[in-house]
Structure 1
Amino acid sequence: MSAFSPQEQKHLKEAAYSEFLRAKIKLAQRKGFDVPLADIHPGLKPHTRDIVRWALAGGQRAIFASFGLHKTSTNLEVMRQIGIHRPGLRLIVLPLGVRQEFIREAAKRFTGEYEVQVRFIRTDAEIDGQDVVYLTNYESVREGKIDVRKFRAVGLDEASVLRSYGSKTYQEFLPLFEQVEFKFVYTATPSPNRFKELIHYAGFLGVMDTGQALTRFFQRDSEKAGNLTLYPHKEQEFWLWVASWAVFIQRPSDLGHSDEGYDLPALDVRFHEVPSNYSTAGAEKNGQGLLIPNVAMGLSAAAGEKRDSMTARVAKVAEIMAADPDDHFLIWHDLEDERHAIQAAVPGVVSVWGTQDLDQREQRIADFSDGKIKDLSTKPIIAGSGCNFQVHCHREIFAGIGFKFNDFIQAVHRVQRFQQRHPVRIDIIHTEVERKVLADLMEKWRRHDEMQETMGKIIRNYGLDQLSMQDSLARTIGVERAVVAGERFSVANNDCVLEAMQQPTNSVGMIITSVPFANHYEYTPSYNDFGHTQDNDHFWAQMDFLTPELLRILQPGRIYACHVKDRINFGNVTGAGIPTVSPFHAEAIFHGIKHGFDYMGMITVVTDVVRENNQTYRLGYSEVCKDGTKMGVGSPEYILLFHKPQTDRSRGYADVPVTKAKPMCLDDAGTRIPFDRKAAPIPGTGYSVARWQVDAHAFWRSSGDRLLGAAELASFGPGKLAKLFTSMSLDNVYNYEYHVEVGEALLAGKALPADYLSLAPGSADPAVWHDIVRMRTLNGEQSARAVEKHVCPFQIDIVDRLIGRYSNPGEVIYDPFCGLGTVPVRAMKLGRRGAGSELNPAYFTDQVHYCQAMEREVSMPTLFDFEALDAERES
């Protein structure tokens, strides 16, 4: 017997649960060491010294400092301090052409007592000691010439250039540094248009797994895989989380220091449109000719437009330069043919290109930076990051435009930087057809400035103080309980754990719920949300608070039906290379058993494999043709049946059994008599043996009608065929080859749908439900009412069957994750009482609407009700 009273036990459980919720607040951990401000290089700017201390304390941090805010000296001082306090090999990875900036900075600022020796290497063979900071290019790491695992500390300078390598290389590159103790990222332009870049930096730094971060902060498009948008209610948490491991600073005043000397020069952007070549417009897929080329069709069309307009664009470059012959010009281009054309049109222009000797390339970049070369032409991918050209140059010309905003903005800020003495002029040349490309580029620029302002506000509000960020996030814990009740229902806007604690013991006749699928979705901004968990283990840890309460409130011997679905693990996240399945339903089974439920089995609900593939891309037809071993099968849903032990375990019946009235029968004389196995049952008068067979182990035989041919079936069209084929597959022996033949006949007639499965085989096993109407959910009503749809609506058919099989009329059916209210609504429809809880206030409002509407419906008397009442009065 417990030493605590029931009320004291409840308070203890609430306190433990509150502590669990607060522990959910995840900001970046400190994995570094503290260095007194007095020990930081005194020759650095005040804001730089603050950033160095913060980065060293974190140990794994990102420095997103604007152009000209001394990222180079920050990087060198961080490495110097690590060399003092945590000796080991140190490496800075650089873009091509940037090493001269580090060599200059070390020679200028890191001398004497604060000396830092830097040495450029291309292979591991050049490493000869720990008393220097090694420099190398990204290419050497990418090609495996440098083994980064040898180093204790690594800094990625201008890390945003990794995007130019492509997504696959980008994702493969970052895990190489997994075992490095101290890791840092430096760039001025983390893209606001690609949130995944920030997520990848977090993964590189070891702050959070990329898959976990994507799930935590981004909502998925249920119609299309990979289409991710930031949850509106997660926006503040996302940016505070980012600010815990990345410092965004636009000016020294963001950290409370003077902005004197840090005024960016004025930016004069001018656009020059040249005519497009209409003769190359081409045609649509249907053969209809185009009046003008359509660059929006993709990169190939855009490249064609660039080639066709090259002469006119290069002529415009020459014209702009000729108007100001004394200015130094930086000319950006994308094609090698453009480079040759520019050199031919503008004598004296010096070029830098990819296949050029590395030393020659870097020397030309250094000479242009020093003013020894007047005009330079190159690609943004080569010299667009890390180079400082502001001393002698304030003019840039983009000989063309492209889709990559990061390359563009980086290139602009090679000259628009602090310490630039002149207004900066940027000339952008584009064709008439490229107006849409230009508009997209400008919109990305606007969003870039917007994100910078968002992060600037966070830095100005919180500084580098994680504790204040954590306190701010803690305010999202908890909800003010609200209960709405009618004669047939009672639902609460509350945390499901806390609400279940309010329910009397043994008060519920049945529990039906669809639990959140771990951290797959988050339904609210609150940390009370079960979807606000790191992984499956963390989710089940929160369920450890709920499941004992469900066991307590359920009547002895009754059923807890738990709807679950397995999770898909994508190969690019797990490293498996192929999509695999996380057996979530199996974890749910053992979780229920652990907390005292008897496991009674599961019902399988098949899903539409075509729609599933449209959402996950894991069962693609093209991929299975390449290698059949890559494809698994469609992922069904499961109803897990748990049984609360009855009080008397020597008898196999619930304390209050769920009884079924047997049907009335007719004897040989045609008289109605109570159930008799030898007599004929009267249909609809009770629970028949036939219905029991369907519930327990149904098996439908053929009616004797002949099979239709594949061509005949295909002639019905996909709409009628879907129902007909499923019915036919139940009435006859299933034939796999015939199944495929029908599908191929549909395909030949161009009638095989691509957005849903039209030839679903029926199931003869009652444990597999094939006929659940996937779209018959309360979301249909939500759509009609033009209000928010639920992320994972519960199918009405499933709920109806479960209520009918496992509960008695008049009993309470409880759902801790009530959503839009499917369970209480259907419970009332079937003559029971509905109850439950929902955390999301918007869903709760809609839930109340549906519950009240259903209560009115079932309470509305019918004509027969009035006739029965009149008869009762007369008697």
Structure 2
Amino acid sequence: MNIHVAPKAQADAYAAFLARKAILDPPTGLTDVPDLPAVLFPFQRDIVTWALKRGRAALFAGTGLGKSFMELAWGQAVNKSTQGDVLHFAPLAVAAQMVREAEKFGIPARHVRTQDECGVGHNFYSPEVNVTNYQKIDAFDLTQFSGVILDESSILKSETGHYRNELVDACHGIPFRLAATATPAPNDFMELGNHAEFLGIMSYSDMLATFFTHDGGETQKWRLKGHAENDFWRWMASWAVMLRKPSDLGYDDGAYELPALHQIHHTVTAPVAVGDLVGGRASTLQERIKARRESVDDRVAFAAAMTPIDRPFVWWCNLNAESEALTKAIPDAVEVRGSDKEDVKERKLIDFSEGRIRVLVTKPSIAGFGMNWQHCADTGFVGLNDSFEQIYQAVRRFYRFGQQNEVTAHFIAAETEGAVVANLKRKEADADRMAAAMVLHTANITKQAINAQARENASYDPKIPMQIPTWLGGAA
């Protein structure tokens, strides 16, 4: 029996088919990738090659997997291929660290603070990657660059954040864009939308409308549509690589095995007025803030007493009162404050990196992103807030590939702050589940794309002389 399908239904079905196909963002990058640094590991080389061919890509790789090296190699290749300048953004003090990393790997790079220090400031091509920090963004005309790299791109986290909006607006016409972070969305899918919008793949609002639905009646809570889940992961894998270790993409982990991480929670007894807290524990935000402020002296005394005297240590604080008191209580401690001038902050962070400061006291919001501190294996939080991402990133300054010792992270909280600790543990569990889901759903798709680069890049290197049959040899 023949079934007649109305022309309109056919057209609608075909339009829907095209719409589904269009969800995957097409590559717009290099067709001929230049030689990459020989010291890249195979998984790094294949990821960089894939990202260069993509043109606009995100690299969500675990701490210590060589994101800085991959970013620099990507920037050098864009620089070579386009004869245009590349601007590499990094957090404060990380810019100087990035230039040192580049020198170690033989990649030309320079620390710049204004447009005039770049080649484009003088209308000539410069064979170097220009590295600066996010705080200097207003000193550059981003439309003059061929490529832009965002190191620690979780700076795009807030939909209404200053840097997020300025970067999205200023970079929309730049053909080569790379965003790299270890925590694209530690417990929130929405941050992926900010990355997609920065890369020009899909707007934040379009991502929500396409793949998500409101969770119940709360407009701020979104969840993946059941029927759109596979399409969402396929879409994400078309422009982002997610891995926690090389074996996630089928490579040998080799040296990428970490020693143990010990997270030790300490509870400090702090006096609280009877009746101030229900059940003696803070639950609301106002109560948690009150509990933190009233327990500063007790927590600081506990932290100072347990600080080792024979090895590097970093104390992370939440309140100025905590960092001021702790710096006074530890004889050789140096504090990095938000009110310090940028060059002072940078100098102190570099001094700790290079061993001239033994005990550093600061906040995760100041130094919790980007620094490589594998020389230190002990850290602690004398003050906590509800940001899991800040704590995750702060611990990963030490607990990262390349760390040779077991890492110990201490968490000090007053007994009245029980809700804060419980909330952080819940967020950590949520983040672990989400990271596992992201790898699980994208690994096979990404393997096909990344491993294809290895097949395309395989060089012909014959070792055995070819023997020509006598019947093809002709007359001698």
Q: Same fold (TM over 0.5)?
A: yes
Tell me which residue corresponds to 2:298: 312
Tell me which residue corresponds to 2:220: 226
Q: Quote the Cα distance in structure 1 between the aligned partners of 2:373 and 2:88.
A: 21
1:355-374 superposed matches below 5 A: 355-374=339-358
Q: Tell me if structure 1 keeps the 8 A contact 2:50–2:449.
A: no
> Is 1:213 matched up with 2:204?
no
Q: Tell me if structure 1 keeps the 8 A contact 2:327–2:333.
A: yes
Q: Tell me if structure 2 keeps the 8 A contact 1:27–1:466.
A: no
The CA RMSD measured in Å over matched residues stands at 2.5
Measured after TM superposition, the shift of residue 206 of structure 1 is: 0.7
Q: Quote the Cα distance in structure 2 between the aligned partners of 1:169 and 1:407.
A: 18
> Is 1:297 matched up with 2:284?
yes
Assess, with a 3 A threshold, how the Cα gap between structure 1 residues 218 and 12 changes in structure 2: closer, same or farther: closer
Give the aligned residue type for 2:17.
R
Tell me which residue corresponds to 1:121: 112
SS in 2 for 1:331: strand
Q: Tell me if structure 2 keeps the 8 A contact 1:54–1:464.
A: no
Measured after TM superposition, the shift of residue 373 of structure 1 is: 1.8
> Is 1:130 matched up with 2:125?
yes
SS in 2 for 1:463: helix
> Is 1:55 matched up with 2:48?
no
Q: Tell me if structure 1 keeps the 8 A contact 2:111–2:132.
A: yes
Give the aligned residue type for 1:126.
E
SS in 2 for 1:449: helix
Give the aligned residue type for 1:59.
G
> Is 1:191 matched up with 2:185?
yes
Tell me which residue corresponds to 1:395: 378
Give the aligned residue type for 1:169.
H
Question: Can you list the C-alpha shifts for 1:386-422, whole angstroms capped at 9, x where unaligned?
Answer: 10001x2100111111111111100011100111111
Measured after TM superposition, the shift of residue 204 of structure 1 is: 0.8
Tell me which residue corresponds to 1:278: 272
TM-score in terms of structure 1 length: 0.48
Tell me which residue corresponds to 2:79: 83
Q: Quote the Cα distance in structure 2 between the aligned partners of 1:213 and 1:420.
A: 38
Measured after TM superposition, the shift of residue 241 of structure 1 is: 1.6
Measured after TM superposition, the shift of residue 20 of structure 1 is: 3.3
- Of stretches 353-362 and 220-229 in structure 1, the one that deviates more from structure 2 is 220-229
1:82-481 superposed matches below 5 A: 82-110=78-106, 116-128=107-119, 129-131=124-126, 132-141=128-137, 144-163=138-157, 167-169=160-162, 171-173=164-166, 174-221=168-215, 223-279=217-273, 282=276, 290=278, 292=280, 294=282, 296-298=283-285, 300-321=286-307, 324-390=308-374, 392-465=375-448
SS in 2 for 1:279: coil
Q: Tell me if structure 1 keeps the 8 A contact 2:267–2:414.
A: yes
Assess, with a 3 A threshold, how the Cα gap between structure 1 residues 250 and 89 changes in structure 2: closer, same or farther: same
SS in 2 for 1:433: helix
Q: Tell me if structure 2 keeps the 8 A contact 1:255–1:459.
A: no
Q: Tell me if structure 2 keeps the 8 A contact 1:95–1:161.
A: no
Q: Quote the Cα distance in structure 1 between the aligned partners of 2:134 and 2:438.
A: 28
Q: Quote the Cα distance in structure 1 between the aligned partners of 2:101 and 2:60.
A: 19
- The number of equivalent residue pairs is 443
SS in 2 for 1:135: strand
Q: Quote the Cα distance in structure 1 between the aligned partners of 2:312 and 2:344.
A: 20
Q: Quote the Cα distance in structure 1 between the aligned partners of 2:111 and 2:430.
A: 37
Measured after TM superposition, the shift of residue 12 of structure 1 is: 7.8
Measured after TM superposition, the shift of residue 7 of structure 1 is: 5.6
Tell me which residue corresponds to 2:67: 71
Q: Quote the Cα distance in structure 1 between the aligned partners of 2:176 and 2:418.
A: 45
How many percent identity over aligned positions?
Answer: 34
Tell me which residue corresponds to 2:24: 27
Q: Quote the Cα distance in structure 2 between the aligned partners of 1:107 and 1:281.
A: 60
Question: Can you list the C-alpha shifts for 1:750-809, whole angstroms capped at 9, x where unaligned?
Answer: xxxxxxxxxxxxxxxxxxxxxxxxxxxxxxxxxxxxxxxxxxxxxxxxxxxxxxxxxxxx
Question: Can you list the C-alpha shifts for 1:600-625, whole angstroms capped at 9, x where unaligned?
Answer: xxxxxxxxxxxxxxxxxxxxxxxxxx
Q: Quote the Cα distance in structure 1 between the aligned partners of 2:135 and 2:102.
A: 23
SS in 2 for 1:263: coil
Question: Can you list the C-alpha shifts for 1:181-201, whole angstroms capped at 9, x where unaligned?
Answer: 111111001124222111111
Tell me which residue corresponds to 2:469: none
Question: Can you list the C-alpha shifts for 1:450-496, whole angstroms capped at 9, x where unaligned?
Answer: 1222222234322343699xxxxxxxxxxxxxxxxxxxxxxxxxxxx
Q: Quote the Cα distance in structure 2 between the aligned partners of 1:191 and 1:167.
A: 16
Structure 2 gaps of 5+ residues are: 452-476
Give the aligned residue type for 1:427.
H
Rg larger in structure: 1
Q: Tell me if structure 1 keeps the 8 A contact 2:292–2:417.
A: no
Give the aligned residue type for 1:349.
A
Q: Quote the Cα distance in structure 1 between the aligned partners of 2:344 and 2:87.
A: 24
Measured after TM superposition, the shift of residue 333 of structure 1 is: 0.6
SS in 2 for 1:465: helix
Q: Quote the Cα distance in structure 2 between the aligned partners of 1:34 and 1:446.
A: 41
1:619-638 superposed matches below 5 A: none
SS in 1 for 2:162: helix
Measured after TM superposition, the shift of residue 280 of structure 1 is: 8.1
Measured after TM superposition, the shift of residue 232 of structure 1 is: 3.3
1:461-860 superposed matches below 5 A: 461-465=444-448
Q: Tell me if structure 2 keeps the 8 A contact 1:35–1:56.
A: no
Q: Quote the Cα distance in structure 2 between the aligned partners of 1:462 and 1:293.
A: 47
- Of stretches 229-238 and 178-187 in structure 1, the one that deviates more from structure 2 is 229-238
Q: Which has the higher contact order (CA 8 A, sep 6+)?
A: 2
SS in 2 for 1:350: strand
Measured after TM superposition, the shift of residue 229 of structure 1 is: 2.1
Assess, with a 3 A threshold, how the Cα gap between structure 1 residues 170 and 433 changes in structure 2: closer, same or farther: farther
Measured after TM superposition, the shift of residue 102 of structure 1 is: 1.2
Give the aligned residue type for 2:193.
I
Assess, with a 3 A threshold, how the Cα gap between structure 1 residues 319 and 30 changes in structure 2: closer, same or farther: same
Q: Quote the Cα distance in structure 2 between the aligned partners of 1:293 and 1:145.
A: 48
- Of stretches 10-19 and 457-466 in structure 1, the one that deviates more from structure 2 is 10-19
Give the aligned residue type for 1:32.
G
Question: Can you list the C-alpha shifts for 1:782-840, whole angstroms capped at 9, x where unaligned?
Answer: xxxxxxxxxxxxxxxxxxxxxxxxxxxxxxxxxxxxxxxxxxxxxxxxxxxxxxxxxxx
SS in 1 for 2:280: coil
Assess, with a 3 A threshold, how the Cα gap between structure 1 residues 443 and 431 changes in structure 2: closer, same or farther: same
Give the aligned residue type for 1:302.
R
Measured after TM superposition, the shift of residue 213 of structure 1 is: 0.6
Question: Can you list the C-alpha shifts for 1:263-283, whole angstroms capped at 9, x where unaligned?
Answer: 01201110001124322864x
Q: Quote the Cα distance in structure 1 between the aligned partners of 2:42 and 2:274.
A: 57
Q: Tell me if structure 2 keeps the 8 A contact 1:243–1:455.
A: no
Q: Tell me if structure 1 keeps the 8 A contact 2:237–2:445.
A: no
Measured after TM superposition, the shift of residue 9 of structure 1 is: 7.0
Measured after TM superposition, the shift of residue 437 of structure 1 is: 1.4
Q: Tell me if structure 2 keeps the 8 A contact 1:280–1:293.
A: no
Q: Quote the Cα distance in structure 2 between the aligned partners of 1:410 and 1:149.
A: 31
Tell me which residue corresponds to 1:705: none
Measured after TM superposition, the shift of residue 162 of structure 1 is: 4.3
